[in-house]
Structure 1
Amino acid sequence: MRRSKCEREHLTITPSKPRGATVIDVAKRAGVSPMTVSRVINGSTSVRDETRKAVKDAIRELNYTPNVAARALVTSQEIRLGVIYSNPSAAFMHDFLIGVYEEASVLGAQLFLLGGQDGRPPPPDAIDRLIASGIGGVLMAPPMGESRAVRDPISLAKLPMAVVGGPARDAISVRIDDRAAAYDMTQHLIALGHRRIGFIIGNPSQSASEERLAGFDQAVREAGGVETVLVQGDFTYMSGLVAGEQLLDMAKPPTAIFASSDDMAAAVVSVAHRRHMSVPDDLTVVGFDDTSAAVTLWPPLTTIRQPVRALAAEALRLLIQEVKSSRKGSKTRHPKCVFAHELIERQSTAPVTG
């Protein structure tokens, strides 16, 4: 697993430690909302005694340690942030929003959510209303960070921005190295003996799609003797169904298919099952993201894990720092952070036989 890095002064993000209890876990155990847990942690007097006791009992039982250092970032001045999202993958967005919400609960930030549909930006008037609501900054889930329709009005309003999952010159950027991750996965398939590999490209409007394809191409060129077939997708399950049919309809279909997202990979597995093919005995299938989609089917997917919750939480934390700095008149730094990825092997891959 590659080390993570954050391109800002005197700071490197190291790979995440195993996940401990979170505010969400405490809230579930106590039977209250995450915001109530946050109020108890912050010593609010507006919580009933019995509720306070339930929360403290849950904290003790789960051995939860509040992030005191992170909470110290927030002053008495309220932090109000917009979160703009429009990602067709429900599994990805679930992890993203949990990461954002957990961090906001700890830091005491107030969130205003604005969603688009099927990867399209929200209407311009909705973005204008969000900006006019008095927010101090905006966090964007992929692919919104690459949409001019979203970014231009925010830039015009001179609001701090944080982008998850893509590069950004004029905003905080928190992501993984998509090219290196796809390169690692392709090398893994080649090491298993696969020499006919199908690749399903992600949404052409997103830089992550281009980077993952570039990593795939690099590994194939270096190996030599590998036949490839490229099919266009858009990160959705439906596009994975279409791409899977195209690849498996070939006179000489691939022995392995690398889909640029878990949703598309899950769709390929479904297509294979409908054709009475065994995964992985007849066909190896791998994905990307390690969302819940990777483990809610049989066989569970070998995939690239990008820590979506951690990416979202770090982006929110950095955005709050930048909002505070801008209020003090400090120079904006726009940190660029690259987190570690990990290749997770499960039961959807096997060496070539025959």
Structure 2
Amino acid sequence: MPRRRGGVTIKHVAADAGVSLQTVSRVINNEPNVRPEMAERVQAAIDRLGYVPLIAAQRMGGSKSRLILALNDRDRTIAGWRNREGTDWVDQMLLGGMLTCGAHGYRLILELVDTHSDHIERELSATIGALQPDGVILTPPHSQDLVILNLLAKRGISIARIGSLTPGPGFCLTMDDEAAARLATGHLLDLGHRRIGFIKGSDDYELSGWRVTGWRAAMDAAGLAADLIEPGDFDYASGRTAAGALLDAADPPTAIIASSDQMAIATLDVALERGLAVPHDLSIISFDDTPIARYASPPLTAVTQPIAAVVAEAVERIIAEQHGARLSIEPKSVPAQLTVRASTSPPRSIG
């Protein structure tokens, strides 16, 4: 009778098959230097005993764990879950990462880390020690955290960094936020807007600055003042404050670009509370394009970020590096797109 699955170890498999622990490890990891009849004997023992390979067994003899770890910001992710506001960034990250990992026989594991914690090294070291990942995908703001980057580099772990160009170990992938902001601003300029406000994202994220740069560049190229800008923190509350400040300006905007869907929804709410018609009195463009943007009333024109594609590329590059490929150190950009919906139109004066 097969043993209980939870009590079976690699030692039981080796004893049942009459082979060494190293041979079992080679079979588990699909290594080529195992005779077919030996592999069949080990696999038969695995099936008979109901053995589930553990990470520790897969690491024997220096073999790969075939695990890729993705780190995301703890506070923002948990806040989104608790408020039931959706976690589309995480969903898209898992979509691109899991499907690509699965196609190569790898697994993706998501961990949440507080980048501002005084215990970040201890916390992350414990996670790395337990999982022994072959590679780590870092999202903002972890992707620019030198403490995290240096810790991973010292352990020889492949690093994929999303949304950061800070000098340091690993390879960088971006969604070209600067170009996306230029694209969004250009859309409003083409509609005839000349007073275009901007709500910035958190300064903890490099991409917040890139978006401001793109907006300013488009305004400057059109010969227009880029003076309508307010700080935000990607959340609804900061969006309300920023939108109110922009609309209270002596010469208020006829359009506002918000650096997140939450801040864009807040802008929409503030506009409607003030009796402004969207889009005829105020056009609104958002970044991210999560479900709340699509189901708003009116649906929001939004920068659609290729999160799944970027994470898929990160996985591909980590796996290629694990197999000895020599990769370019130049940052790679996957462009975002602008999805036009009902929240943008020509300003009332020319509409």
| CA distance in structure 2 between the partners assigned to 1:262 and 1:221 by the alignment | 25
- Residue from 314, 335, 345 that aligns with 2:340: 345
| CA distance in structure 2 between the partners assigned to 1:157 and 1:229 by the alignment | 46
Query: What is aligned with 2:235?
Result: 236
Query: What is aligned with 1:314?
Result: 313
| CA distance in structure 2 between the partners assigned to 1:267 and 1:225 by the alignment | 26
The residue matched to 1:211 in structure 2 has which SS? helix
Unaligned runs of 5+ in 1: 1-43, 48-75
Larger RCO of the pair (alpha carbons < 8 Å, separation 6+)? 1
Query: What is aligned with 1:264?
Result: 263
| CA distance in structure 1 between the partners assigned to 2:340 and 2:202 by the alignment | 25
Question: Any residues of structure 2 matched to 1:121-140 within 5 Å, and which?
Answer: 123-133=120-130, 134-140=132-138
1:163 equivalent in alignment to 2:161: yes
The residue matched to 1:228 in structure 2 has which SS? coil
Query: What is aligned with 1:26?
Result: none
Contact conserved, 1:96 with 1:141, CA < 8 A, in 2?
A: no
- Residue from 92, 99, 118 that aligns with 2:96: 99
Query: What is aligned with 1:80?
Result: 67
Contact conserved, 1:162 with 1:173, CA < 8 A, in 2?
A: yes
Question: Any residues of structure 2 matched to 1:14-163 within 5 Å, and which?
Answer: 77-86=64-73, 88=76, 90-116=87-113, 120=116, 123-133=120-130, 134-163=132-161
- Cα offset for 1:110? 2.6
| CA distance in structure 2 between the partners assigned to 1:166 and 1:230 by the alignment | 23
- Cα offset for 1:352? 1.1
| CA distance in structure 2 between the partners assigned to 1:104 and 1:180 by the alignment | 29
- Cα offset for 1:292? 2.3
1:336 equivalent in alignment to 2:331: yes
Q: 1:193 to 1:137 in 2, by over 3 A?
A: same
The residue matched to 1:182 in structure 2 has which SS? helix
| CA distance in structure 1 between the partners assigned to 2:71 and 2:209 by the alignment | 23
- Cα offset for 1:240? 1.3
| CA distance in structure 1 between the partners assigned to 2:285 and 2:93 by the alignment | 22
| CA distance in structure 2 between the partners assigned to 1:78 and 1:135 by the alignment | 6
The residue matched to 2:185 in structure 1 has which SS? helix
Q: Deviations over 1:265-309 (max 9, x none)?
A: 122112222323221122111012222232121111112222111
TM-score by length of 1: 0.71
- Cα offset for 1:257? 0.5
- Cα offset for 1:177? 1.7
Unaligned runs of 5+ in 2: 1-42, 48-62, 81-86
| CA distance in structure 1 between the partners assigned to 2:204 and 2:302 by the alignment | 22
The residue matched to 2:238 in structure 1 has which SS? helix
- Cα offset for 1:215? 0.9
| CA distance in structure 2 between the partners assigned to 1:111 and 1:240 by the alignment | 33
- Cα offset for 1:331? 5.4
Contact conserved, 2:216 with 2:226, CA < 8 A, in 1?
A: no
Query: What is aligned with 1:192?
Result: 191
TM-score by length of 2: 0.72
Q: 1:237 to 1:104 in 2, by over 3 A?
A: farther
Contact conserved, 2:65 with 2:134, CA < 8 A, in 1?
A: no
The AA in structure 1 aligned to 2:141 is P
Query: What is aligned with 1:5?
Result: none
The residue matched to 1:288 in structure 2 has which SS? strand
The AA in structure 1 aligned to 2:345 is A
Larger radius of gyration: 2
Identity, % of aligned pairs? 32
Q: Deviations over 1:158-180 (max 9, x none)?
A: 21100122225531222222111
- Cα offset for 1:347? 0.5
The residue matched to 1:287 in structure 2 has which SS? strand
| CA distance in structure 2 between the partners assigned to 1:313 and 1:78 by the alignment | 19
Q: 1:335 to 1:110 in 2, by over 3 A?
A: farther
- Cα offset for 1:332? 6.1
Contact conserved, 1:86 with 1:120, CA < 8 A, in 2?
A: no
| CA distance in structure 1 between the partners assigned to 2:164 and 2:64 by the alignment | 30
| CA distance in structure 1 between the partners assigned to 2:156 and 2:272 by the alignment | 51
Q: 1:120 to 1:262 in 2, by over 3 A?
A: farther
